[in-house]
Amino acid sequence: MRPDEILKKTQLFTHLSEAELKAVAARAVVRRFQVGEMIFHEGQPCEGLHVIAQGTLRLFKTSASGREQILAEEGPGSSVAELPVFDGGAYPASAMAATDCETVFLSRRDFRSVCLEHPEVTLKVLTIVGARLRRLVGIIEELSFTTVRQRLIAFLLREADEQGTKDWAGVGFDLPGTHQELANRLGTVRELVSRNLSRLQAEKLIVTDGRRIIVPDLAKLKAEQEAGSQ
């Protein structure tokens, strides 16, 4: 797929004409990354903006002790690093290829030129950055005001709703990664994730089989979440 075809499917550039898209795409470079490869590091000077064409990109922060907190996973059509492109600062988080992925890269200078020529792009950047800020506020609230058990139950309920399939045993889905990766999402350590999964299973709120999770009674799990938040 050509860069202009990729950019056309991106929220930032959907309003541009074919000629304008081609002009932007002429400044772009297609980059390919293998799963696990770093795309940029937190604190590194911002080189430009990435638009995801294929695959999944993971955004995360790392503490001084080496613990990771996953902030988001972005897929095709999403863009990353809009804010540092504007303020000239460093990347505020790291980005890694969660799967093999392909991006369309626009340098900081070229993207700023696009924004000067097309102010609508700037307004869309503000919308995207605003949505990201709301998501980060939600993460801060969860980490500050809820226990690991509550965050885990909330995560399991979201996965059941978005990925789950229903059969006679309940609603089943696969965990999207290892216990360590789940701990990185929840802002805790692997041991606490494993311990809380075991407790939920002992309480018959879930059934685990490797990475497979089955929720026998969604209403019961939701009631447990509500009880924990009181």
Last residue of a domain, one of 144, 162, 187: 144
User: Are both 35 and 131 inside the same structural domain?
Assistant: yes
Residue 210: CATH number of its domain: 1.10.10.10
Q: What is the mean pLDDT of residues 49-77?
A: 89
In this predicted structure, what is the pLDDT of residue 230?
58
The average pLDDT across 13-22 equals 80
Same structural domain, 128 and 61: yes
* Last residue in a domain, options 144, 173, 208: 144
84 and 195: one domain?
no
The count of domains in the chain is: 2
pLDDT value for 67 = 83
Whether residue 58 sits in one domain with residue 17: yes
In this structure, of 3-7, 73-77, 191-195, 214-218, the range with the lowest mean pLDDT score is: 3-7
129 and 155 within one domain: no
Same domain, residue pair 16 and 103: yes
d(CA 49, CA 103): 9
The pLDDT value recorded for residue 63 is 82
Q: pLDDT for 159-183, tens place per residue? A: 999 889 998 988 999 998 889 889 8
Alpha carbons 112 and 116: distance in angstroms, whole number:
6
Q: Which residues, including other chains, have CB under 8 Å from residue 119's CB and lie 6 or more apart?
A: none
Domain hosting residue 212, numbered range: 146-228
Are residues 183 and 85 part of one domain?
no
pLDDT for 73-131, tens place per residue? Answer: 899 988 899 888 888 889 999 999 999 999 999 999 988 888 888 888 888 878 888 88
Last residue of a domain, one of 144, 172, 192: 144
- 148-163 and 119-145 are packed helices; what angle lies between their axes, rounded to 10 degrees? 130
Tokens of 96: 């890694």
Predicted confidence (pLDDT) at residue 12 exceeds the cutoff of 90 = no
C-alpha distances in Å from residue 46, one per residue of 56, 98, 194: 20, 20, 37
pLDDT at 229 over 80: no
